[in-house]
Structure 1
Amino acid sequence: MTTPLPTGFRVVLDPDTKHLRDDLWFGGSPARVLRLTAAGRRAWRELAEGPVITPGGGTLARRLTDTGFAHPVPPEPTGPPDLTFVVPVLDRPGPLARCLASLSQKHPLLVVDDGSKDPQAIAKIATAHGAELVRRDENGGPAAARNTALHHVTTDLVAFVDSDCTAPGDWADALAAHFSDPLLAAIAPRVRALARNTTAGRYTKAAGSLDLGDRPARVAPRTRTSYVPTAALVARRAALQEIGGFDPDLRVGEDVDLGWRLHAAGYRVRYAPDVHVGHHEPETWRALLGRRAKYGTSAAPLARRHPGNLAPLALHPWPALTVAALLARRPLLAAGGFTGAVLSMLETLKKNDIPTEGVVRAMGTAVHQTWLGAGRYGTQYAAPVLAALLVPRGWGRRAAVASLVLGPPLTAWAERRPELDPVRYTAAALADDIAYGAGVWAGCLTHRTAAPVRPEIVWRPLRVDRKEKRGPA
């Protein structure tokens, strides 16, 4: 049985949520159609006017926030949270001092020195900022350091902050308000890049890998926001202890693994971009691309630990056929593929008594997204192949390959309008993708698996939630 969202919570609809009819909504992540019963419509009237006050309202609120149709807004806290800041560090005394100086002094501070070469420097800074210090004699990585902290923390909540972060204000208190939901295990703020005004710095500010954007989300595998970084994270200590904490065998990707294990245990993990934390980024291209390659190496061990959670490219058959035909300059086949996409969706909608307006436009969007996805996949995992295809004569083939390579970064540039011209932004994005892909391939070779680079075919064009006999939805 679903645990309702507690009394006092409000919900705000996601911008992508659309009311097709009074009883029929479209939205969520993954996208689906949600059908409300009469009880569900009554529960929605409660939520539209104010906070949860009845079990029915709480059950619908849980359903909407779990599926991505809406996002929870917690009630005002009645007092300060029971929270400890934890900062793991390896060397870097300067960034550590900057990080500790930014943190609120209202809560205890715990620094975990993960085998720094100059432990006296770390101890001096921790003492200067009133922080408790725990020393690990051998470096075990960020997961091991955080697990060490969990053995020393006694508060209900723990706020992990990396030493290269600047986190001023009451950001942790704001996130802690969400823990009045008993199912919430962890919540992350938006991590904004702090970098110098260089080409690398401007690119990172526009497309930093730790910045997940401005849209709130439930964090779960195979959704729009499948993970959150632990550069800054507030978590329920008991929930972390229940699943055994972080996996110390993972030097990279331990944050993704943690979120997925919490999800598998029935907990909720959320992303709250209305709260910001700054993260100091690498200052050179070598450091930036090296970090991206390192991140890529985590894909293989994650795929082994969580089969089915990691799909680099999901293809729907009809849009995929349309894109392939367009790239091959087969207009009749492309038209047939697009017609098949439209007819398949019309059949699904009519079968489920769903309005069919806008199907052609929606399938056009699906084709566009498939093209962008295929282009980025090719750049990340098959860049040498795409480069080889540019060599043979024939402007048609070259144009098709160029559209795959250049389409995704130019589309991102047009949407983000970063402080970089399109040429430099495109070059940076391509280098970023290639570096990450190289790391993924290296991990695949090390762990002897092709799962992180294997696309999947999605046969069902749209998920439709059936009407339930009981409950509000």
Structure 2
Amino acid sequence: MRLPIGFRVRIRADVRRIDRRLLVGGSPLRAVRLTDAALARLDDGEITVVDAATEALAARLVDGNLADPVLSGAAVDPAGLTVVIPVRDRPDQLDRALAPLAGLHCVVVDDDSHDPDAVEKVARSHGARIIRLPENLGPAGARNAGLRAVRTPYVAFVDSDVTVEASTLLALSRHFADGRVALVAPLVRSRARSRKPRWFERFDEDDSSLALGTRACVVRPGAAVGWLPSACLVGRADRLGTGFEEAMRVGEDVDLVWRLVEAGEVVRYDPDQVAWHDTRTTIRGWLGRKYLYGTGGADLAVRHGRKGAPAVMTVSMAATAAALMVHRRWSLPIATAGIAYGTLSLRRRLPETPERDRLAVQLCAQGLGWTVRQEAALLLRHWWPLTVLLAPHSALVRRALAASLLVDVVVAQVDNPGTRYRPLARRLDDMAYGAGLWAGAVRARSITCLLPRRPGRRTGQGGTSPNG
């Protein structure tokens, strides 16, 4: 058994229970009808593994993001975890990274620093092992060099500009009570180190590209969390294979996660645990990093096809959302027809229940809202060069652009409640990332990374797409 006897999972608070036996939620969205046997094993919203049947039920609910594990067990022995920190210069940041990791085995991999002695001095002062590389391999190669030196069952990868407590890494290791879990990551928040943080640093603190939300998740393409940043990861050393793809200077973390998922491994995101990433201290460094992230999209598309599509939507919901965003006289009848079609489509696919009609309407509205959000992001972020090119010549594009800007304000407040909306920073962030995405597409001679994809009619076993 991969889940031990006594392992518990709890139905998520955001999952709707209809007629007691129908669960609607998860990520991707799905509807699962519980059998009488499964219902009998559900105790106050929890399943406890006592045999093969309860193990299968618990695993299915967790894998569908309908339930989360109850992490009541102990963490791994600190002696069984090695922390690998790749670094190139930046001894001050390295010193901050190593300080909270006292008590853990640490391996610092010097990726051909200009001043290797300064790096070694800091590493030695914290009792860390130092590995010097004779040439610069990049983050992926440096992490792999550290991984090859690991002799413990578990390994953590922590970037030199990240601070995370040893207790946080050990808390993440509790996920390995599930024998299927190969990799887990915390929420990575940004923190400005400047005495007086500038506007773009404050924006990054509120809206970091590395912060993937506050919803725990099994990570896979198409789920609420589809990738993990390599800024902070904890994994089973023997399940990571050869580690990161060294030919990739960006996107190597996404590639690793997707390869693990393809191999049948389970990857988890745990936002209850937090690591802190230093913000960039210059506008050039901040925008340069966003641009670099964008360039990785094309390489990921070459390796993984449409998994990293910038949007996932059905044709009917895409047309409905577009009609609403251009708000013309003909928008209402088109939107009405699209909503009716989506509702009927969902109704046919939902299990028989007295609340099926109302549920179909709710799910269709939810899918439409998500599609509007995605189309706004396409116009403002992924496709902004086309938006700028076409807007002067098309009233429809200008209307859609105006709607997208309004949607962006709403999304910012929903995703980061209580934070200040910074339109300049958001637009520069979008433009830098989008420019990198297009540059990567041109270099790869492929537009795959720019194209939305349609969801499958089934998003998982027993699943239903939220887009209708």
TM-score strictly above 0.5: yes
Quick one: which of 245, 248, 251 aligns to 1:247? 245
Matched, 1:447 2:444: yes
Offset at residue 398 of structure 1 (A):
3.7
**Is 2:286 aligned against 1:285?**
no
Are the counterparts in 1 of residues 347 and 360 from structure 2 also a CA contact under 8 Å? no
Unaligned runs of 5+ in 1: 467-473
1:203 is the counterpart of 2:200:
no
Tell me which amino acid in the other structure corresponds to 1:369. W
Alignment of 1:47-446 (within 5 A): 48=45, 51-77=48-74, 80-81=77-78, 82-103=80-101, 105-195=102-192, 196=194, 197-241=197-241, 244-350=242-348, 352-354=351-353, 355-391=356-392, 398-413=398-413, 415-420=415-420, 422=421, 425-446=422-443
C-alpha separation between the residues in 2 aligned to 1:416 and 1:111? 35
Tell me how large the CA RMSD over aligned residues is: 2.3
CA contact (8 A) 2:11 2:45 kept: no
Cα contact 2:311–2:452 (8 A) shared by 1 = yes
Asked if the contact 2:10–2:47 (Cα under 8 Å) also holds between the matched residues in 1, the reply is: no
Structure 2: segments with no counterpart, 5+ residues: 464-468
Answer whether contact 1:378 1:405 (CA < 8 A) is retained.
no
Question: How far does the alpha carbon of each residue in 1:438-467 deviate from its partner, in whole angstroms, 9 at most, with x for none?
Answer: 11111111111111001223473987718x
Once residues 288 and 179 of structure 1 are traced to their aligned partners in structure 2, the CA distance between those partners, rounded to angstroms, is 35
In structure 2, what is the Cα distance between the partners aligned to 1:14 and 1:392? Answer: 48
Number of the residue aligned with 1:471: none
Q: Equivalent residue of 2:361, what SS?
A: helix
Identify the residue that residue 466 of structure 2 maps to in structure 1. Answer: none
The answer to whether the Cα contact below 8 Å between 1:113 and 1:134 also exists between their aligned partners in 2 is yes
Q: What's the CA shift for 1:121?
A: 0.7
Report the Cα offset of residue 378 of structure 1. Answer: 1.3
- Structure 2 distance, partners of 1:323, 1:279, is 36
The answer to whether the 8 Å contact 2:319/2:338 transfers is no
TM-score (norm 2): 0.91
Q: Which amino acid aligns with 1:372?
A: R
SS at match of 1:175: helix
Q: Distance in 1 between matches of 2:364 and 2:46?
A: 35
TM-score by length of 1: 0.90
Pairwise CA distance, 1:413 = 3.1
Alignment coverage as a number of residue pairs: 456
The 3-state SS of whatever aligns with 2:41 is helix
Q: Secondary structure at the match of 1:249?
A: coil
Contact kept, 8 Å, 1:303 with 1:452, in 2: the verdict is yes
2:83 counterpart SS class: strand
Range with bigger deviation, 217-226 or 354-363: 354-363
What is the rounded CA distance, in whole Å, between the counterparts of 1:248 and 1:415 in structure 2?
34
Q: Which moved further from structure 2: 187-196 or 317-326?
A: 317-326
Query: Does structure 1 conserve the Cα–Cα contact (< 8 Å) formed by 2:186 and 2:232?
Result: yes
Shift of 1:5: 2.6
Judging changes above 3 Å, is the alpha-carbon distance between structure 1 residues 246 and 59 closer, same or farther for their aligned structure 2 residues?
Answer: same
Aligned to 1:293, the other structure's residue is in SS state helix
SS of residue matched to 2:185? strand
Conserved? CA contact 1:44–1:57, under 8 Å:
no
Cross-structure match for 2:454: 457
Q: CA deviation at 1:264?
A: 1.0
User: Structure 1's 184 and 457: CA in aligned 2 closer, same or farther, altered over 3 A?
Assistant: closer
What displacement does 1:132 show? 0.7
> Which SS does the other structure have where 2:308 is aligned?
coil
Tell whether the 8 Å contact from 1:156 to 1:238 is kept in structure 2 after alignment.
Answer: yes
Q: Letter of the 1:404 partner, please give it.
A: S
- The amino acid that maps onto 1:208 is S
Three-state SS of the structure 1 residue aligned to 2:364 is: helix
CA distance in 2, matches of 1:55, 1:457: 36
- The separation in 2 between residues aligned to 1:80 and 1:321, in whole angstroms, is 54
Cα distance, 1:375 vs structure 2: 1.3
Q: Percent of counterpart pairs with the same letter?
A: 36
Answer whether contact 2:65 2:217 (CA < 8 A) is retained: yes
CA displacement at 1:193 relative to structure 2: 0.7
Secondary structure at the counterpart of residue 456 of structure 1:
coil
Separation in 2 of the partners of 1:326 and 1:175?
43
